[in-house]
Amino acid sequence: MTLRVTTWTVHDRSFQLAEPVETARRAWTHRPSFVVRLVDESGRTGFGEAAPPAHDSDAEFVETGRDLRQLVEVVVARRFDAAQAVESVAEFLDAAGGVGSVARFAVETALLDLAGQSVGLPIAALLSGVRAPRSIEVSALLSTSSPDRALGQARDFAAAGFRTMKVKIGRRGRWSEEVELLGALHDEFGEAVRIRADANCAWSAAEARARLDELAPLGLEFVEQPVAPSELMSMTCAPVTLAADETLALPGALDQIIASRACAVVVLKPAVLGGAIACIDMARRAHGAGLAVVVTHSLDGPVAIRAATHLAQALDAPPLACGLGTSHLPPDLAGPAKSVIDPFTAPGLGLPAEQVLP
Protein backbone atom coordinates (compact mmCIF):
# COMPACT_ATOMS: atom_id res chain seq x y z
CA MET A 1 0.00 0.00 0.00
CA THR A 2 1.52 3.30 -1.07
CA LEU A 3 0.65 6.95 -0.60
CA ARG A 4 1.66 9.92 -2.71
CA VAL A 5 1.67 13.56 -1.66
CA THR A 6 -0.01 15.74 -4.26
CA THR A 7 -0.26 19.21 -2.68
CA TRP A 8 1.11 21.08 0.31
CA THR A 9 0.82 24.35 2.19
CA VAL A 10 2.87 25.92 4.98
CA HIS A 11 1.14 28.16 7.50
CA ASP A 12 2.78 30.66 9.86
CA ARG A 13 0.93 29.95 13.10
CA SER A 14 2.72 31.87 15.86
CA PHE A 15 0.90 32.10 19.17
CA GLN A 16 1.04 34.04 22.42
CA LEU A 17 2.08 32.01 25.46
CA ALA A 18 -0.48 31.70 28.23
CA GLU A 19 2.06 33.53 30.41
CA PRO A 20 5.72 34.48 29.88
CA VAL A 21 8.30 31.73 30.35
CA GLU A 22 11.81 32.71 31.39
CA THR A 23 14.75 30.34 31.08
CA ALA A 24 18.43 30.81 31.83
CA ARG A 25 18.95 31.84 28.21
CA ARG A 26 15.86 33.73 27.16
CA ALA A 27 12.41 35.04 28.15
CA TRP A 28 9.53 34.04 25.90
CA THR A 29 6.14 35.72 25.50
CA HIS A 30 5.15 34.20 22.15
CA ARG A 31 6.16 31.17 20.10
CA PRO A 32 6.80 31.39 16.36
CA SER A 33 6.06 28.21 14.42
CA PHE A 34 5.01 26.80 11.07
CA VAL A 35 2.34 24.19 10.40
CA VAL A 36 2.87 22.08 7.28
CA ARG A 37 -0.14 20.50 5.57
CA LEU A 38 0.33 17.61 3.15
CA VAL A 39 -2.52 16.18 1.08
CA ASP A 40 -2.30 12.77 -0.61
CA GLU A 41 -3.99 11.52 -3.77
CA SER A 42 -6.88 10.07 -1.72
CA GLY A 43 -7.62 13.45 -0.14
CA ARG A 44 -6.23 12.62 3.29
CA THR A 45 -4.49 15.47 5.12
CA GLY A 46 -1.37 15.11 7.25
CA PHE A 47 -0.02 17.80 9.57
CA GLY A 48 3.37 18.58 11.07
CA GLU A 49 4.81 21.51 13.02
CA ALA A 50 8.17 23.23 12.87
CA ALA A 51 9.40 25.67 15.50
CA PRO A 52 13.05 26.44 16.29
CA PRO A 53 14.22 25.33 19.74
CA ALA A 54 13.14 27.79 22.42
CA HIS A 55 16.70 28.69 23.39
CA ASP A 56 17.81 29.76 19.91
CA SER A 57 17.66 33.16 18.22
CA ASP A 58 14.83 34.59 16.16
CA ALA A 59 16.98 34.11 13.05
CA GLU A 60 16.41 30.38 13.43
CA PHE A 61 12.75 30.96 12.53
CA VAL A 62 13.65 32.23 9.06
CA GLU A 63 16.02 29.32 8.50
CA THR A 64 13.41 26.83 9.72
CA GLY A 65 10.85 28.14 7.22
CA ARG A 66 13.36 27.89 4.39
CA ASP A 67 14.33 24.32 5.34
CA LEU A 68 10.70 23.30 5.65
CA ARG A 69 9.67 24.53 2.22
CA GLN A 70 12.78 23.01 0.65
CA LEU A 71 11.99 19.60 2.09
CA VAL A 72 8.27 19.69 1.34
CA GLU A 73 8.92 20.49 -2.31
CA VAL A 74 10.93 17.27 -2.56
CA VAL A 75 8.12 15.27 -0.93
CA VAL A 76 5.50 16.17 -3.54
CA ALA A 77 4.80 13.40 -6.07
CA ARG A 78 6.97 10.86 -4.25
CA ARG A 79 5.44 7.54 -3.25
CA PHE A 80 5.82 6.14 0.26
CA ASP A 81 5.10 2.64 1.52
CA ALA A 82 2.34 3.15 4.11
CA ALA A 83 2.59 -0.45 5.33
CA GLN A 84 6.29 0.08 6.12
CA ALA A 85 5.93 3.74 6.97
CA VAL A 86 8.74 4.13 9.50
CA GLU A 87 11.34 2.55 7.24
CA SER A 88 10.05 4.32 4.12
CA VAL A 89 9.90 7.78 5.70
CA ALA A 90 13.26 7.41 7.47
CA GLU A 91 14.93 6.29 4.23
CA PHE A 92 13.53 9.28 2.35
CA LEU A 93 14.49 11.83 5.00
CA ASP A 94 18.00 10.40 5.31
CA ALA A 95 18.43 10.65 1.55
CA ALA A 96 17.04 14.19 1.41
CA GLY A 97 19.50 15.52 3.99
CA GLY A 98 20.63 19.12 4.13
CA VAL A 99 17.82 20.45 6.33
CA GLY A 100 17.57 21.22 10.02
CA SER A 101 16.13 18.77 12.52
CA VAL A 102 13.06 20.93 13.20
CA ALA A 103 11.95 20.87 9.55
CA ARG A 104 12.72 17.16 9.33
CA PHE A 105 10.52 16.49 12.38
CA ALA A 106 7.62 18.45 10.90
CA VAL A 107 7.68 16.63 7.55
CA GLU A 108 8.20 13.28 9.27
CA THR A 109 5.12 13.95 11.41
CA ALA A 110 2.95 14.88 8.43
CA LEU A 111 4.03 11.80 6.46
CA LEU A 112 3.43 9.48 9.41
CA ASP A 113 0.05 11.15 9.92
CA LEU A 114 -0.89 10.27 6.33
CA ALA A 115 0.51 6.75 6.66
CA GLY A 116 -1.36 6.11 9.89
CA GLN A 117 -4.63 7.24 8.33
CA SER A 118 -3.94 5.05 5.31
CA VAL A 119 -3.48 1.85 7.35
CA GLY A 120 -5.85 2.75 10.20
CA LEU A 121 -3.27 2.99 13.00
CA PRO A 122 -2.09 5.81 15.30
CA ILE A 123 1.44 7.08 14.79
CA ALA A 124 2.46 5.51 18.11
CA ALA A 125 1.56 2.07 16.75
CA LEU A 126 3.57 2.72 13.58
CA LEU A 127 6.60 3.73 15.64
CA SER A 128 6.38 0.84 18.10
CA GLY A 129 5.25 -1.90 15.74
CA VAL A 130 2.45 -2.88 18.13
CA ARG A 131 -1.23 -1.96 18.06
CA ALA A 132 -1.54 -1.01 21.75
CA PRO A 133 0.72 1.91 22.78
CA ARG A 134 1.08 2.67 26.49
CA SER A 135 -0.38 5.33 28.75
CA ILE A 136 2.12 7.97 29.89
CA GLU A 137 2.41 10.22 32.92
CA VAL A 138 2.83 13.96 32.29
CA SER A 139 4.82 16.49 34.30
CA ALA A 140 3.68 20.07 34.93
CA LEU A 141 5.78 23.15 34.16
CA LEU A 142 5.60 25.75 36.94
CA SER A 143 5.52 29.49 36.38
CA THR A 144 8.73 31.54 36.35
CA SER A 145 6.99 34.79 37.28
CA SER A 146 7.37 34.48 41.06
CA PRO A 147 7.79 31.83 43.79
CA ASP A 148 4.28 32.56 45.10
CA ARG A 149 2.75 32.08 41.66
CA ALA A 150 4.69 28.85 41.11
CA LEU A 151 3.74 27.47 44.54
CA GLY A 152 0.08 28.25 43.92
CA GLN A 153 0.27 26.52 40.55
CA ALA A 154 1.93 23.52 42.16
CA ARG A 155 -0.95 23.14 44.60
CA ASP A 156 -3.45 23.33 41.75
CA PHE A 157 -1.52 20.80 39.68
CA ALA A 158 -1.23 18.44 42.65
CA ALA A 159 -4.97 18.68 43.24
CA ALA A 160 -5.49 17.80 39.57
CA GLY A 161 -3.43 14.63 39.94
CA PHE A 162 0.01 15.72 38.72
CA ARG A 163 2.80 13.93 40.61
CA THR A 164 5.80 15.43 38.79
CA MET A 165 6.60 19.12 38.33
CA LYS A 166 9.41 21.04 36.68
CA VAL A 167 11.03 24.34 37.64
CA LYS A 168 13.22 26.45 35.36
CA ILE A 169 16.33 27.62 37.22
CA GLY A 170 19.66 29.32 36.42
CA ARG A 171 18.28 32.78 35.62
CA ARG A 172 20.75 35.57 36.26
CA GLY A 173 20.38 37.17 39.70
CA ARG A 174 17.55 34.82 40.74
CA TRP A 175 19.43 32.00 42.46
CA SER A 176 18.26 32.75 46.01
CA GLU A 177 14.66 32.98 44.79
CA GLU A 178 14.98 29.69 42.90
CA VAL A 179 16.44 27.83 45.88
CA GLU A 180 13.70 29.28 48.08
CA LEU A 181 11.03 27.97 45.71
CA LEU A 182 12.57 24.51 45.46
CA GLY A 183 12.81 24.38 49.24
CA ALA A 184 9.19 25.44 49.62
CA LEU A 185 8.06 22.76 47.17
CA HIS A 186 10.07 20.15 49.05
CA ASP A 187 8.60 21.24 52.39
CA GLU A 188 5.04 21.28 51.05
CA PHE A 189 4.93 18.03 49.09
CA GLY A 190 7.77 15.87 50.40
CA GLU A 191 7.88 12.62 48.44
CA ALA A 192 4.28 12.93 47.26
CA VAL A 193 5.40 15.03 44.26
CA ARG A 194 8.62 14.63 42.30
CA ILE A 195 10.33 17.95 41.57
CA ARG A 196 12.83 18.32 38.75
CA ALA A 197 14.83 21.44 37.82
CA ASP A 198 16.12 22.58 34.43
CA ALA A 199 19.12 24.92 34.32
CA ASN A 200 19.33 25.19 30.50
CA CYS A 201 23.15 25.31 30.39
CA ALA A 202 23.28 28.21 32.86
CA TRP A 203 26.51 27.50 34.75
CA SER A 204 30.18 26.81 34.34
CA ALA A 205 31.35 23.46 35.67
CA ALA A 206 32.67 25.11 38.86
CA GLU A 207 29.43 27.02 39.44
CA ALA A 208 27.40 23.89 38.78
CA ARG A 209 29.26 21.82 41.36
CA ALA A 210 28.73 24.49 44.04
CA ARG A 211 25.04 24.95 43.24
CA LEU A 212 24.31 21.26 42.93
CA ASP A 213 25.73 20.89 46.44
CA GLU A 214 23.12 23.41 47.61
CA LEU A 215 20.36 21.50 45.84
CA ALA A 216 21.37 18.08 47.14
CA PRO A 217 19.26 18.19 50.35
CA LEU A 218 16.08 19.04 48.46
CA GLY A 219 15.39 15.57 47.08
CA LEU A 220 15.08 16.61 43.42
CA GLU A 221 14.26 13.91 40.92
CA PHE A 222 17.02 15.30 38.70
CA VAL A 223 18.67 18.52 37.50
CA GLU A 224 18.59 18.92 33.75
CA GLN A 225 21.52 20.27 31.73
CA PRO A 226 23.33 22.36 34.38
CA VAL A 227 26.29 23.17 32.09
CA ALA A 228 27.05 23.79 28.43
CA PRO A 229 26.45 20.81 26.11
CA SER A 230 30.13 19.93 25.70
CA GLU A 231 30.83 20.05 29.44
CA LEU A 232 28.15 17.70 30.70
CA MET A 233 30.19 14.51 30.37
CA SER A 234 32.71 15.94 32.86
CA MET A 235 30.05 16.24 35.59
CA THR A 236 30.67 12.81 37.10
CA CYS A 237 30.02 12.11 40.79
CA ALA A 238 27.49 14.95 41.07
CA PRO A 239 25.55 15.06 44.37
CA VAL A 240 22.21 14.98 42.49
CA THR A 241 20.95 12.99 39.52
CA LEU A 242 21.68 14.74 36.23
CA ALA A 243 19.75 14.68 32.96
CA ALA A 244 21.06 15.44 29.47
CA ASP A 245 19.05 17.65 27.12
CA GLU A 246 20.94 20.10 24.89
CA THR A 247 24.01 17.82 24.96
CA LEU A 248 22.15 15.15 23.01
CA ALA A 249 22.20 17.29 19.86
CA LEU A 250 26.00 16.94 19.65
CA PRO A 251 27.30 14.23 17.28
CA GLY A 252 27.92 10.99 19.17
CA ALA A 253 26.71 12.49 22.45
CA LEU A 254 24.55 9.58 23.55
CA ASP A 255 27.48 7.17 23.30
CA GLN A 256 29.62 9.58 25.34
CA ILE A 257 26.91 9.97 27.98
CA ILE A 258 26.59 6.21 28.29
CA ALA A 259 30.35 5.82 28.57
CA SER A 260 30.87 8.64 31.10
CA ARG A 261 27.91 7.71 33.33
CA ALA A 262 27.61 11.42 34.15
CA CYS A 263 23.85 11.33 33.57
CA ALA A 264 21.17 8.85 34.56
CA VAL A 265 18.43 10.45 32.44
CA VAL A 266 18.19 11.53 28.80
CA VAL A 267 15.60 14.08 27.67
CA LEU A 268 14.42 13.46 24.13
CA LYS A 269 13.03 16.35 22.09
CA PRO A 270 12.13 15.02 18.65
CA ALA A 271 12.16 18.49 17.09
CA VAL A 272 15.78 18.98 18.19
CA LEU A 273 16.99 15.44 17.54
CA GLY A 274 15.68 14.93 14.03
CA GLY A 275 12.27 13.41 14.64
CA ALA A 276 10.43 10.66 16.46
CA ILE A 277 12.00 7.84 14.43
CA ALA A 278 15.51 8.89 15.49
CA CYS A 279 14.35 9.25 19.10
CA ILE A 280 12.93 5.71 19.15
CA ASP A 281 16.40 4.39 18.39
CA MET A 282 18.01 6.68 20.99
CA ALA A 283 15.51 5.59 23.64
CA ARG A 284 16.22 1.93 22.99
CA ARG A 285 19.96 2.49 23.28
CA ALA A 286 19.55 4.55 26.44
CA HIS A 287 17.28 1.99 28.10
CA GLY A 288 19.68 -0.76 27.09
CA ALA A 289 22.43 1.09 28.96
CA GLY A 290 20.27 1.52 32.09
CA LEU A 291 19.38 5.18 31.54
CA ALA A 292 15.89 6.58 32.12
CA VAL A 293 14.13 8.50 29.35
CA VAL A 294 11.92 11.59 29.33
CA VAL A 295 10.14 12.87 26.20
CA THR A 296 9.40 16.57 26.04
CA HIS A 297 9.00 19.58 23.75
CA SER A 298 10.37 23.14 23.43
CA LEU A 299 7.28 25.22 24.20
CA ASP A 300 5.81 23.87 20.99
CA GLY A 301 2.29 24.06 19.61
CA PRO A 302 -0.34 21.30 19.68
CA VAL A 303 0.79 19.47 16.54
CA ALA A 304 4.40 18.99 17.69
CA ILE A 305 3.25 18.13 21.23
CA ARG A 306 0.86 15.51 19.87
CA ALA A 307 3.64 13.99 17.76
CA ALA A 308 5.99 13.88 20.75
CA THR A 309 3.25 12.21 22.79
CA HIS A 310 2.92 9.50 20.15
CA LEU A 311 6.68 8.98 20.53
CA ALA A 312 6.38 8.64 24.32
CA GLN A 313 3.53 6.14 23.96
CA ALA A 314 5.59 4.07 21.53
CA LEU A 315 8.66 3.50 23.71
CA ASP A 316 9.57 -0.10 24.54
CA ALA A 317 10.10 0.74 28.22
CA PRO A 318 7.96 3.22 30.17
CA PRO A 319 9.45 6.72 30.27
CA LEU A 320 9.58 8.93 33.34
CA ALA A 321 6.84 11.55 33.51
CA CYS A 322 7.08 13.39 30.21
CA GLY A 323 7.15 17.14 29.65
CA LEU A 324 4.18 17.08 27.32
CA GLY A 325 1.85 19.44 29.12
CA THR A 326 0.04 22.28 27.36
CA SER A 327 -0.23 24.89 30.13
CA HIS A 328 1.96 27.29 28.10
CA LEU A 329 -0.57 27.34 25.24
CA PRO A 330 -3.41 29.85 24.92
CA PRO A 331 -6.81 28.42 25.93
CA ASP A 332 -8.02 27.84 22.36
CA LEU A 333 -5.04 25.55 21.69
CA ALA A 334 -4.33 23.99 25.08
CA GLY A 335 -7.13 21.48 25.51
CA PRO A 336 -7.73 19.88 28.94
CA ALA A 337 -4.76 19.49 31.30
CA LYS A 338 -4.07 15.78 31.86
CA SER A 339 -1.69 14.18 34.35
CA VAL A 340 -1.97 10.87 32.46
CA ILE A 341 -2.54 10.53 28.71
CA ASP A 342 -4.26 7.33 27.66
CA PRO A 343 -3.16 5.52 24.49
CA PHE A 344 -4.24 7.21 21.29
CA THR A 345 -6.53 5.11 19.12
CA ALA A 346 -7.45 7.41 16.21
CA PRO A 347 -5.50 6.79 12.99
CA GLY A 348 -2.50 8.99 12.30
CA LEU A 349 -1.87 12.03 14.47
CA GLY A 350 -5.50 12.06 15.60
CA LEU A 351 -5.58 15.76 16.45
CA PRO A 352 -8.87 17.62 15.90
CA ALA A 353 -8.61 19.99 12.95
CA GLU A 354 -9.68 22.98 15.06
CA GLN A 355 -6.57 22.54 17.21
CA VAL A 356 -4.30 22.40 14.17
CA LEU A 357 -5.41 25.50 12.27
CA PRO A 358 -8.14 27.25 14.32
Active site residues: 168, 269
Would you put residue 305 in left (φ > 0), alpha (ψ -120 to 50) or beta? alpha
Half-sphere exposure of 334 (CA within 13 A, CB side): 14
Is the distance from CB of 343 to CB of 133 less than 8 angstroms? yes
Give Cα separations from 93 to 9, 146, 253, 302 (angstroms).
19, 43, 21, 23
Kind and range of the H or E run holding 5: strand 2-12
Q: Which residues contact 352 (CB under 8 A, 6 or more apart)?
A: none
Q: CA 104, CA 55: separation in Å to the nearest integer? A: 19
Q: CA 3, CA 180: separation in Å to the nearest integer? A: 55
Nearest Cα to 290, choosing from 326, 338, 329, 257?
257
Q: CA 166, CA 328: separation in Å to the nearest integer? A: 13
